[in-house]
Amino acid sequence: MIKTGVYGSIDSSTVGMVENILDVAELDVVGMYSAKQEHSDTKLHLREFDEEGTFLNNVDAVIAVSPTTSLEEIKTLVKSSKHVFFEPASSYCSTDVTKLSSIVDEANVKVQAGFHHRFNNTFLSAKPFIVSPRFIQSVNHRRFNTSNEYCSVLMDMLINDVDIVLSVVKSNVKNIYASASAIQQIPAGTPDVVNARIEFYNGCVAHFVASRIAEDDSHKMTFYCRDSYTNIDMLENKASLVKKRGNADNPSFFSHSVGDLSVEQIMVKPNNVYYDEFTSFAKSILYNKSPEVNVDTILKTYDVVKKIKDKIKLGF
C-alpha cells in the first residue's frame, strides 16, 4: 500500500472527495496537513499534522484536495520527491505548467492532474466508438445566474472540452481560430461566449461554443467518424452511435431507426469519478506507468487554451 497524505483544508465541499480516497485499497491514508493550519471539523478521524515537514516525512504520495492550492505548493511537494495528485486552478497558465513539468522530470515522481471530465462515465462509455474522428462539434452552455459572472468561460468550461478532443485526436494542432463576445462585462473584460475552431494536421476539425449566459444548461459533443458519428450528452449521461441504415451491420436490440438512420444507444456504465481518478493515480505509482492525465498532457491542453486566449484578446 502507498502511504498517502491529504494536503489542504477538508470542509463540506471536499469531504466527499476525501471519503473516496479512503475507499481506494491501494492507498493507506496516514493523515492530513493544512498550510493554513485549519483543523478539520469532519468525522473522518484523520491524523492532523501540525508541521509540513513531519507530514511529508510520513507519506510517499500526496493528494491536494483544494483547487486553490497554489502551484508553488505543488512544486514544493514534488521537490520533496512525493507523488502528487492535484486539481489545477483556473488561474494556472501554460508557463506555470511548463515549470512544473521540468521539476517533475527531475524528481522522477508521478504527478496526476484532476481533470475529472476524463473520467466522466458517459465519455468513457462512448470513447471506444470514437475512432479517427474527422469533425467534432462541442456545445457547452451554462444557465445564467449571477454566480456565473465570475465563471471563466475559457478556463472553467471550454478547457475541459478542448482536453477531451485532444485526448481522442491523434494529431498535432495546425491552426486555431477563436472569437468571443460579452453581453455583460462583469468582471470587466471577460467574455460571456467563446467560439473556437481547431484544425489538426490529420485533417480533423473541432468546433467549440461555450457560454455562461444560456437559458438552460446543455453540454453535448458529437464526434463524426468515417462511417458513423457518436453523440454524447454529458448532463443527461446519454450516448448514442448513429449510422446510415445501409452502413449499419447487424443492428443491435438497442437500436432504432430515425428516418434512414440507425441509432444505437450506448450503454453508459455507472462510475465514481473521484474513486476512479484516485485508483488510476495509485496504479500509476504501483506499476510505474504514466498517469492518465500527466503534466505533459495538461501542458498540451493549456498551450492550446493559451493560443485561444491570445486570439480572443486580438478581437475582444
Structural domain boundaries, residue 29: 2-109
**297 part of a folded domain:** no
Last residue of a domain, one of 52, 78, 109: 109
Lowest average pLDDT, out of 9-18, 48-57, 218-227, 243-252, goes to 243-252
Asked if 207 contacts 224 with a C-beta cutoff of 8 angstroms, the reply is no
- Per-residue pLDDT tens digits for 141-176: 999 887 656 688 998 899 999 999 999 999 999 999
From 109, 139, 162, give the residue that closes a domain: 109
Q: Tell me the DSSP string of 208-274.
A: EEEEEEESS-EEEEEEE-SS-EEEEETTTTEEEEEEEGGG--S--TTEEEETTEEEEEPPPPP--HH
Q: Is residue 286 part of a domain?
A: no
Residue whose C-alpha cell reads 452511435 in the numeric block: 241
Report the sign of the C-alpha dihedral through residues 162, 165, 167, 172, in that order: negative
Q: Could you tell me if 85 and 229 lie in one domain?
A: no
CATH number, residue 126: 3.30.360.10
Same structural domain, 89 and 126:
no
pLDDT tens digits for 108-148?
A: 899 999 888 999 999 999 999 999 999 999 999 999 887 65
Same domain, 253 and 123: yes
Q: Say if residue 246 is in the same domain as residue 192.
A: yes
pLDDT in tens, 234-255: 999 999 999 987 765 665 656 7
Residue 221 near residue 120 (C-beta atoms within 8 A): no
User: How many residues in total does the chain contain?
Assistant: 316
| Shared domain check, 249 and 123 | yes
Quote the pLDDT of residue 24.
Answer: 95
Q: Does residue 153 share a domain with residue 262?
A: yes
Number of domains in the chain: 2
97 and 197 share one domain: no
Q: Please check whether residue 149 is in contact with residue 282, taking contact to mean a CB–CB distance below 8 angstroms.
A: no
Kindly report the CATH number assigned to the domain that includes residue 40.
Answer: 3.40.50.720
d(CA 171, CA 203): 9
Q: What rounded mean pLDDT belongs to the chain?
A: 88
| 292, part of any domain | no
Do 89 and 186 sit in the same domain of this protein?
no
Q: Are residues 182 and 309 in the same domain?
A: yes
Residue 70 is assigned to a structural domain of this protein: yes
pLDDT of residue 242: 94
% residues pLDDT > 90 (the chain): 61
Q: Please give the pLDDT value at position 11.
A: 72
For residues 137 and 216, state if they share a domain: yes
Number of Cβ within 10 Å of residue 103's Cβ equals 16
Rg over alpha carbons for the chain, rounded to the nearest Å, is 21
How far apart are alpha carbons 30 and 45 in whole angstroms? 10
Residue 247, SS3 per DSSP: helix
CB 10 within 8 A of CB 44: yes
276, pLDDT greater than 90: yes
Both 245 and 162 in one domain: the answer is yes
**Is 136 found in the same domain as 66?**
no
